[in-house]
Structure 1
Amino acid sequence: MDVAPILDLVGEPVGAALAGLTAGMIFGVSAEQSRFCLRAAAVEVARRQWGGRLAVWLLTFSTALLWTQLMDVTGVIDLETSRWLASPGTVTGAVVGGLVFGVGMILARGCPGRLLTLGATGNLRAILSGLVFAVVAQMSLYGVLSPLREAISGAWTTGGPNPHVLWELGLPASSGIAIALVFAVAALVIAFRNRVSLTTLFFGCGVGFAVAAGWFLTFTLYQASFDPVPVGSLTFSGPSADTLMFVLSSDRALDFDVGLIPGVAIAAFLSAWVSGRLEWQGWDGAGAMRRYLTGAALMGFGAMTAGGCTIGAGVTGGSTFAFTAWLALTAIWAGGMIADRLIDQRPAAASPAVPT
């Protein structure tokens, strides 16, 4: 795909932002329609329910895995140029950050991607929680929390490039496609047992496809641009902080990440509007407010320490089979399930009844 004429016309920064906007809009409408949420899936597993939200998450993950691995195996993209495989990974960051993020996800009743989607539909709780997440993420990257993050992340690293799980196990590259199909079959079995609608499954696939689209678009820009363009895909930790700084500062340039967040918000808003789901929602008391904002802060620090959020490390990073991405994803699941067990499953737990 030759995008050079487009980049010559609009410029590389605008072209990158448009790519982010495109991937974000695919994610936004798909996430809003499917109610994609890893927190809800983790809660189902923790409570041994194996319900529809788990089916949607598995289908999203398998779709991202399948398309990303297909493009990599066939040479459409080269995942070795991505930061997940080209740069050293942090083992302690993935474990500690993932656990912290998982706890925060339960407290905030949604991951950053879900909060952004809900915020676009009129959920004021999600909007404020998302802002807290972005501020703490920025503090963890460059601010007062940066030394703590660096100490945790630097305690144990992979040294060289992040190990590729399949290569370390001695498996051929094509085995990634087979693994994706296994996840897909599991998702469809669970979906069938829970009578999940075909529409929900379609849009669940759409969330995963958005991740694959992000890989394709950034790699295409990487090949065509004069200035270096990072090869990556969807994540909400860095882009949330970057978008916040873009709004607050005049020296922040347009790029893929800055286009991503508005794309998700616009598409989720339009999807909810067409479906009649736009509704203003506020707080359910001071206790709920403390819970949400604490969770958002934990997610902000955890995501930056782990190298990404449920989408960034979990689905985008996981689709590359980078070792620390899978480690972070496992830690996020574990942290979420433990937090649900200790906090929300207590007999006297005061968990706010908030739709997610």
Structure 2
Amino acid sequence: MVFDSFVAAHWTMLGTVFAIAVLLGAVVNKSNFCTMGAVSDIVNMQDWQRMRMWILIIAVAILGVGLLEPLGLINADESMPPYRASDFAWAGYLLGGLLFGIGMTLGSGCGNKTVVRIGTGNIKSLFVAAVLGTVAFFMTNPLPLIDASLRDLFFGWVNATAISHSHGQDLGSLIAGEAGPWVRPLLALLIGGALLYAVLRVAGFRQDRNAVSGALIIGACIVAVWTVTSNVYVADETGQRDTLQTYATDWDFHHPDTDAGRPESTRWLAPQGVNFVGPLVQSTQYTASGFNPGLITVGVMVIGGVIVGSFLWALISRSFRFEWFADRQDFNRHLTGGVLMGIGGPLAMGCTFGQGITGMSTLALSAPLALGGLILGSALTMKIQYYKLLYEDEATFSKALVTGLVDLRLLPASLRQLDAL
């Protein structure tokens, strides 16, 4: 899409993303897709149905990016967050995913599910979203007085342990170096095809039309946002086309006498998929600024669209209802969950959607590492909660932790502290 005006181009992109996000919010609500629920179903009931949904979404996203990128319709190399960055900050991805997984279990859902529940009237989720967005904001924009100490505490050691790859950290670049762009489509077909086969070979899943159609639409929404944010240009008087990011960076050259329509930052004009950590930060900034139009980003549109879509489906299905904290313990648990997600999200450079789907679609090595930490943190937290509920005072945190690790086969059975029930 080529426009003569930056403002027209920018708002067309934002409006299109908003429409996609409305569909995304409605479908996630209707299909009951929940990444934390997928982990919980396996841990507690050995039910893989929602996990198969997640895998199918990932497969669609990988195939979509892998096939459209060689055609020039998606530009994941210049994405924000930079999934294919040369520095592989493995410690941050792993620890961040672990903290996020713990947080989403305590907070009753990941970033996506939190936003979807806001649309259904859940005030607890609105609180968690505000906490997550605020903490994540100060993780990436620390106060001047604690700038150095905060960065050293969370990012100093992460950056120090990062491994640099000259051609990027995606599988294509790691395997083929400069020829990575030629290898990525083949890898996408291989990996995406294998994931498709793994889930669609299960008759019980294939026959669940709500789950299959929901997963296909959610995956398509991820690819659609990638495509839209990669294909909006502004043409100057000479006919030269600039991306929105390039045009806004040279704003003073194009519009030396006015700032009307100028975004506060060019960072989030880059190509991007669907994430919920960064967008919650951006939405928090936008709200705190008194709804400054210059702070409206793709992320803000994603959050707003998902809430609207979820709300519309809640009205259609008559499932809208206000929900508040049951007690002080419930409040404290959600507060802790929001804080941990706000810390873990920036460290992992994403969430269940940001790394678990969008990151995976780029074949970035960071995605499976963050996703592994996230699933481990969530599953282990569920195990600890389970044993403390069953055994009450007898189940100390350490006993529940060790027993949970045994259940997950990360420690030998001889170390079991509590009997499984």
- Alignment TM-score, normalising by the size of structure 2: 0.76
Give the corresponding residue for 1:332: 374
**Relative to structure 1, is the Cα distance of residues 330 and 21 closer, same or farther in structure 2, using a 3 angstrom cutoff?**
same
**Relative to structure 1, is the Cα distance of residues 163 and 249 closer, same or farther in structure 2, using a 3 angstrom cutoff?**
same
Match 1:238 to one of 256, 275, 278: 278
Asked if the contact 1:36–1:53 (Cα under 8 Å) also holds between the matched residues in 2, the reply is yes
1:206 paired with 2:217, answer: yes
User: What are the equivalent positions in structure 2 for 1:53-92 lying under 5 Å apart?
Assistant: 53-82=50-79, 83-86=82-85, 88-92=87-91
User: Shift of residue 149 of structure 1?
Assistant: 2.5
| Alpha-carbon distance in structure 2 between the residues aligned to 1:241 and 1:289 | 21
For residues 271-305 of structure 1, what are the alpha-carbon distances to aligned partners after superposition, in whole Å with 9 as ceiling and x for unaligned? 11112211112222222221111111101110011
User: Shift of residue 48 of structure 1?
Assistant: 6.1
Give the corresponding residue for 1:353: none
Give the corresponding residue for 2:156: 151
User: Shift of residue 323 of structure 1?
Assistant: 1.1
Q: SS in structure 2 opposite 1:61? A: helix
Give the corresponding residue for 2:200: 188
User: Shift of residue 194 of structure 1?
Assistant: 5.7
Asked if the contact 1:60–1:208 (Cα under 8 Å) also holds between the matched residues in 2, the reply is yes
| Alpha-carbon distance in structure 2 between the residues aligned to 1:118 and 1:219 | 29
Asked if the contact 1:98–1:302 (Cα under 8 Å) also holds between the matched residues in 2, the reply is yes
Match 1:176 to one of 157, 173, 188: 188
Asked if the contact 2:87–2:162 (Cα under 8 Å) also holds between the matched residues in 1, the reply is yes
| Alpha-carbon distance in structure 1 between the residues aligned to 2:194 and 2:314 | 32
Asked if the contact 1:139–1:146 (Cα under 8 Å) also holds between the matched residues in 2, the reply is no
User: Shift of residue 146 of structure 1?
Assistant: 4.6
User: Shift of residue 13 of structure 1?
Assistant: 3.9
| Alpha-carbon distance in structure 1 between the residues aligned to 2:6 and 2:346 | 35
User: Shift of residue 235 of structure 1?
Assistant: 0.5
Give the corresponding residue for 1:164: 170
For residues 237-270 of structure 1, what are the alpha-carbon distances to aligned partners after superposition, in whole Å with 9 as ceiling and x for unaligned? 1110111111111554322122211111111111
Give the corresponding residue for 1:258: 300
| Alpha-carbon distance in structure 2 between the residues aligned to 1:59 and 1:349 | 38
User: What are the equivalent positions in structure 2 for 1:50-129 lying under 5 Å apart?
Assistant: 50-82=47-79, 83-86=82-85, 88-129=87-128
Asked if the contact 2:73–2:231 (Cα under 8 Å) also holds between the matched residues in 1, the reply is no
Asked if the contact 2:56–2:216 (Cα under 8 Å) also holds between the matched residues in 1, the reply is yes
Number of aligned residue pairs:
346
Asked if the contact 1:13–1:255 (Cα under 8 Å) also holds between the matched residues in 2, the reply is no
| Alpha-carbon distance in structure 1 between the residues aligned to 2:138 and 2:379 | 27
Give the corresponding residue for 2:253: none
106-115 or 331-340: bigger deviation: 331-340
Asked if the contact 2:285–2:295 (Cα under 8 Å) also holds between the matched residues in 1, the reply is no
Give the corresponding residue for 1:321: 363
Asked if the contact 2:85–2:169 (Cα under 8 Å) also holds between the matched residues in 1, the reply is no
User: Shift of residue 81 of structure 1?
Assistant: 2.3
50-59 or 142-151: bigger deviation: 142-151
For residues 313-349 of structure 1, what are the alpha-carbon distances to aligned partners after superposition, in whole Å with 9 as ceiling and x for unaligned? 1111111011112211121112112222222354247
Letter in 2 for 1:295: G
Letter in 1 for 2:89: T
Q: What runs of 5+ residues in structure 1 fail to find an aligned partner? A: 351-356
**Relative to structure 1, is the Cα distance of residues 124 and 24 closer, same or farther in structure 2, using a 3 angstrom cutoff?**
same
Asked if the contact 1:13–1:253 (Cα under 8 Å) also holds between the matched residues in 2, the reply is no
Letter in 1 for 2:212: L
| Alpha-carbon distance in structure 1 between the residues aligned to 2:392 and 2:114 | 22
Task: Give the number of the structure with larger relative contact order, counting CA–CA contacts within 8 Å between residues 6 or more apart.
Answer: 1
User: Shift of residue 147 of structure 1?
Assistant: 4.4
Asked if the contact 2:205–2:211 (Cα under 8 Å) also holds between the matched residues in 1, the reply is no
Letter in 1 for 2:110: C
Match 1:40 to one of 33, 37, 41: 37
Identity of aligned residues (%): 24
User: What are the equivalent positions in structure 2 for 1:214-229 lying under 5 Å apart?
Assistant: 214-221=225-232, 224-225=243-244, 226-227=247-248, 229=269
Q: SS in structure 2 opposite 1:84? A: coil
| Alpha-carbon distance in structure 2 between the residues aligned to 1:254 and 1:281 | 29
User: Shift of residue 185 of structure 1?
Assistant: 2.5
User: Shift of residue 86 of structure 1?
Assistant: 4.1
For residues 44-89 of structure 1, what are the alpha-carbon distances to aligned partners after superposition, in whole Å with 9 as ceiling and x for unaligned? 3334613321122112111111211111233322322222114534
1:30 paired with 2:36, answer: no
Query: Whose Rg is larger?
Result: 2
Q: SS in structure 2 opposite 1:281? A: coil
**Relative to structure 1, is the Cα distance of residues 278 and 3 closer, same or farther in structure 2, using a 3 angstrom cutoff?**
farther
1:308 paired with 2:354, answer: no
